[in-house]
């Protein structure tokens, strides 16, 4: 074995260095042990005994400039600020913004979005929509991360109502409001029946049979469609 160069004799004897290392280990051990005991009797609560966060009991607050879910900002009178100019939809590299423009009753405002939907399954949270917006109508400062799970794709499509509601919540409840709302949504969804279409199918076998039936039906449908396509006379 080559002896590593640049080490002092003391380092090469190794034992003193091990001892030093063990002192460090031991320091952490004793400090955390003491802190845990102190916490038990209600002392030193502000000093944490661990560097880890006990999610979901504890939550780390996102930083001020965290780029989270979108929201549509509101005018002072509560109307949505967006003028349906389509700049965001054009800038969006994922092409996940769908806007349907409508005429605003107020002649001062030209257009407003009848529908404004973001497909968050496609969104890459790049923030280009926010950059593109000329009226500061869309922002990503909600301090809430994208929804992690849902039962079907519809759960991930954020409509105009959802997006404007976030602005209201942010206004009323502060930066934790939207996060709390999302966690409440998770809790609510946990109680949702497994198969929303057929809540009476409780057992796994029943569900499985139903799934196979659907699959077969789907397959039959596709085969029929294929036959149609194939039967179409070619343009030759």
| C-beta closer to ligand SF4: residue 122 or 207 | 122
Q: Assess 146 for contact with ligand SF4 (CB under 6 A).
A: no
Answer yes or no whether residue 41 interacts with another protein by CB under 8 A.
Answer: no
Stretch that binds ligand SF4, among 37-45, 117-125, 142-150, 209-217 (CB under 6 A): 117-125
> Counting contacts by CB under 6 A, is residue 132 touching ligand SF4?
yes
Under the criterion CB under 8 A, does residue 25 sit at the interface with another protein?
Answer: yes
HSE of 88 in the Cβ direction (CA atoms, 13 Å)?
A: 30
DSSP H or E stretch at residue 117: strand 111-119
Question: Furthest-apart CA pair in the chain: how many Å?
Answer: 89
Q: How far is CA 62 from CA 86, 130, 141, 158, in A?
A: 30, 19, 10, 21
Residue for token digits 């063990």?
Answer: 22
Helices (H), 71-203: 87-91, 128-132, 160-173, 177-190
Asked if residue 9 binds another protein (CB under 8 A), the reply is no
Cα of first residue to Cα of last residue in the chain, in angstroms, is: 77
Q: Which stretch binds ligand SF4 (CB under 6 A): 40-48, 50-58, 122-130, 190-198?
A: 122-130
When asked if residue 222 is in the footprint of another protein (CB under 8 A), the reply is no
Element (H, E) at 15: helix 15-40
- CB closer to another protein, 22 vs 217: 22
Task: Work out the number of other CB atoms within 10 angstroms of the CB of residue 112.
Answer: 20
Q: Is 157 in the site for ligand SF4 (CB under 6 A)?
A: no
Residues lying near ligand SF4 in the complex (CB under 6 A) are found at 82-88, 91-94, 96-97, 99, 118, 123-129, 132-133, 135, 137-138
Residues lying near another protein in the complex (CB under 8 A) are found at 1, 15, 18, 21-22, 24-26, 28-29, 32-33, 36, 40, 49-52, 54
């Amino acid at each position: 074995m080559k002896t590593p160069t640049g080490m002092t004799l003391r380092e090469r004897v190794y034992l003193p260095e091990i001892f030093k290392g063990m002192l460090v280990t031991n320091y952490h051990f004793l400090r955390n042990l003491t802190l845990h005991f102190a916490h038990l009797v209600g002392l030193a609560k502000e000093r944490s005994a661990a560097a880890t966060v006990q999610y979901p009991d504890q939550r780390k607050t996102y930083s001020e400039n965290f780029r989270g879910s979108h929201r549509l900002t509101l005018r002072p009178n509560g109307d949505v600020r967006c003028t349906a100019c389509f700049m965001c939809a054009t800038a969006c590299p994922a092409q996940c913004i769908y806007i349907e423009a409508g005429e605003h009753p107020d002649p001062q405002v030209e257009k407003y979005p009848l529908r404004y939907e973001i497909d968050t399954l496609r969104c890459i949270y790049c923030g280009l929509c926010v950059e593109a917006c000329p009226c500061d109508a869309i922002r990503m400062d909600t301090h809430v991360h994208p929804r992690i799970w849902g039962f079907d794709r519809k759960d991930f499509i954020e409509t105009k109502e959802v997006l404007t509601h976030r602005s209201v919540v942010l206004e009323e409840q502060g930066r934790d409001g939207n996060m709390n709302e999302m966690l409440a949504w998770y809790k609510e969804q946990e109680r949702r029946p497994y198969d929303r279409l057929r809540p009476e199918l409780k057992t796994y076998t029943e569900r499985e049979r139903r799934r196979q039936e659907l699959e077969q039906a789907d397959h039959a449908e596709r085969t029929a469609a294929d036959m149609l396509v194939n039967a179409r006379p070619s343009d030759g």
